[in-house]
Structure 1
Amino acid sequence: MSDADFKAISDIAYSEAGLVFPPEKAPLVQSRITRRLRQLKITTFSDYTAFVNSEQGLTERKVMISSLTTNVSNFFRESHHFDILREDILPNLLSRARAGDRIRLWSAGCSTGQEPYSIAMTLLDMAPDASTLDVKILATDIDPNVIVTAKRGYYDERAICDIDEALQKKYTETVGNGRKRGFQIKECVRNLISFRELNLLSEWPISGIFDVIFCRNVVIYFDEMTQLSLWPRFEAVTAPGGWLFVGHSERLSDRLDTEFIAAGPTAYQRPSPANTII
């Protein structure tokens, strides 16, 4: 891969998805794009870059972005966020839901589904009647392939080891045996979630606002300018008193002019009208 090829691919990744690949990431980019060359039977990187820059290559751009992103996720990752969700957030939201309010949560960058399923399990564990309430979880990701996996809700034994044993028994079903043994997320959990493909840098076809947003380990791939433009958009769809969770290595910049207030480790809250943190 020449420097020109790397720049062409990096430019597309940035313009399409906000992904930043510094020069030291060239070996990673080359390794992942090489697979696409083999699959498409294209012989050179320059031919590939010409293809993805052409009108005929618009679909391949999405595939290229998918191949360049790292979809690593675990159930109940960064467990302190789920402690806050269970102890500080859901009791109030569930009281409101039982009074007839609309409650919405968003997993932005849901990858293969572990995050939204963790949210749904936490919710159901506190409110077995959640299906009768106006409570829904939106789960989105730029990669259509991981959305397919997430919707399926099927995981191997290694993946579900992060789920508490009691929750495993409640919300997963064993499928198959031996080497073919897997675990299916139960329908009552899956029914709480709507999975959608969404590029965070594009328009958001979203109606209403959210009480809780998880956007974790997503913006670390963006440059500062892109991050600074993204957080106010999240604020605009966060309800007063609502929460935003970010990844362990992410922070809202001091340069950012939003209402979000630090309310825990990598947790932020938009003040309610009383300007108090729950």
Structure 2
Amino acid sequence: MPHKIPPLFSKKDFNLIQRLVKSKVGILIRPRKQNILGIRLAPRLQQLGLKSFSAYYRHLLKPEGEKELRHLVNTVTIDKTEFFRGDLHFELLRKSILPELLKQKNNEKRIRIWSSGCSTGQEPYSIAIIANEVLGANRDWDIKFLATDINTDSLKIACLGRYSKKQVKDIPSKYLEKYFRKELVGEEEIFQIKEVIKKKIIFRRLNLLMSINRIKGPVDMIFCRNVMIYFDNQARKMIADQFYRLLEPKGYLCLGLSESLVGIDNRFKIIESSIYRKN
């Protein structure tokens, strides 16, 4: 059988899809992503019986295209994530931020932390594990975690809390033994997050730009790591403004290590690399 040549993803087709995604969900697909997006979407065109990307664009414009738009967004927002990714952030969370919040909120004994781009769940589970370790035997506190993402495929994985041996390889052994249950599925080892952590996290689908007003707040800390890259500066300013509104006084905002609020919002005070505090 001859090898099937994938359809051509022209600059014009890319621009049409880029503008549609930005107008519908606010996400900016960078021009450098054209080739990889074309490769990722080619099998989808075949599944839908479409012979060109222009036909795919027309399909997205139809009433039934709303469902396909969600699939497209899932394709665009695939992101690499790991447990305890960015050691600096989790060290600061353990050594200074959580202890400070425990002092600050000692009277009400209530803390809320939001992972705003939770992907497949590794970030919120890592945060919850650290919080559980810091609290120790103290069970007087009401600490809960909200985890949101626009990618429905990622959220399904996050809600299950089941990971391969490769995915948990960077988790310290003491945490792996304490917070995960190992199962054998066929010949593969699967690690299931235990209920003591899982029950503290609420997972929700959320578009940061279009539906952030569904978050009532206030929250004590927001993780928004490697999420701003999907938005232009105007959208980043809108999101930062909403974060400022939702955070408690002196609340924390954690961005990705390569991200900054410079030129976006000057109301936050930087306290460490990519970690800010509400003034």
Give the TM-score taking structure 1 as reference length: 0.91
- Name the SS of the counterpart of 1:159 in structure 2: coil
In 1, the alpha carbon distance for the partners of 2:11 and 2:241 equals 35
1:259 maps to which residue?
267
Q: Where does residue 248 of structure 2 map in the other structure?
A: 239
| Residues 108 and 214 in structure 1, CA contact (< 8 A), matched pair in contact too | yes
Counterpart of 1:199 in structure 2 is: 207
Q: 1:171 offset after TM fit, Å?
A: 0.4
Asked if 1:82 is matched to 2:79, the reply is no
CA distance in 2, matches of 1:191, 1:90: 20
Distance 2:117 2:164 in 1: 21
After TM superposition, list the pairs within 5 Å mapping 1:144-223 onto structure 2: 144-176=152-184, 179-204=187-212, 205-223=214-232
Out of 14, 22, 42, the position equivalent to 2:22 is: 14
Please provide the CA RMSD for this pair. 1.8
Contact 2:233 2:264 in 1 (8 A): no
SS of equivalent residue, structure 1 residue 158: coil
Aligned-pair identity (%)? 37
Task: Give the Å deviation of 1:130.
Answer: 6.8
Q: Is residue 2:261 matched to residue 1:248?
A: no
Aligned AA (2:240): W
CA contact under 8 A between 1:13 and 1:19: conserved in structure 2? yes
What corresponds to 2:236 in structure 1? 227
Alpha-carbon displacement from aligned partner over 1:244-274 (angstroms, at most 9, x marks no partner): 0000111002x33442101001100113xxx
- CA distance in structure 1 between the partners assigned to 2:211 and 2:49 by the alignment: 34
1 CA distance for matches of 2:202 and 2:170? 23
Deviation at 1:97, TM superposition (A): 5.7
Q: Are the counterparts in 2 of residues 123 and 130 from structure 1 also a CA contact under 8 Å?
A: no
Instruction: Specify the alignment match of 2:151 in structure 1.
Output: 143
User: How far does the alpha carbon of each residue in 1:196-255 deviate from its partner, in whole angstroms, 9 at most, with x for none?
Assistant: 0000111221122110100000111222222122211111111111100000111002x3
Letter in 1 for 2:245: A
Contact 1:131 1:192 in 2 (8 A): no
| Superimposed CA distance per residue, residues 1-48 of structure 1 (whole angstroms, 9 cap, x where no aligned partner) | 233211111112222333323433221121122122122222221111
Matched, 1:63 2:71: yes
- Number of matched residues? 270
Change in 2 beyond 3 A, CA 1:151/1:238:
same
CA contact 2:109–2:140 (8 Å) conserved in 1 = no
Structure 2 unaligned spans of 5+: 1-8
Q: What's 1:52 paired with?
A: 60
Residues of 2 paired with 1:256 and 1:43: CA distance?
42
- Residue 74 (structure 1) shift: 0.5
8 Å contact from structure 1 (residues 124, 130) kept in 2: no
Rounded Cα–Cα distance in structure 2 between residues aligned with 1:14 and 1:231: 18
Gaps spanning 5+ residues in structure 1: where?
A: 272-278
Q: Secondary structure at the match of 1:8?
A: helix
